Amino acid sequence: MEELSAPGMNACEAAQLRARKAEEKRYWSVGIAITLLLVGLFAAALHFAAPSARANTTLCLQQFANDEHVSLEAFFQNPAQQDAFVQAMTVCSR
């Protein structure tokens, strides 16, 4: 405790200095905790974003196929439908 006080500093000033140091440590701890929380939330968002985008694309393609009254496999079997499939991929990727 004596390393926090300078020579000639009274007890009140030393107590204030210790209180400021404790408050500064608390601010740093809270700041680090908030930063770690935000980084964790960002990582979770990245983890769940990719699968949901793929699922949305699949649902979009199935909806397009239903609108065309064909199955997704028919897109690959019929050359005329392959152009429609390319168009569907373009629309669904947006």
Which tops the pLDDT comparison, 6 or 17?
A: 17
Number of domains in the chain: 1
Q: How far apart are the first and last CA of the chain?
A: 63
pLDDT at position 38 over 80: yes
Contact at 8 Å (CB) between 14 and 4? yes
pLDDT at res. 46 = 85
Range with lowest mean pLDDT among 15-24, 30-39, 59-68: 59-68
Full domain range(s) for residue 26: 2-92
Which tops the pLDDT comparison, 64 or 19?
A: 19
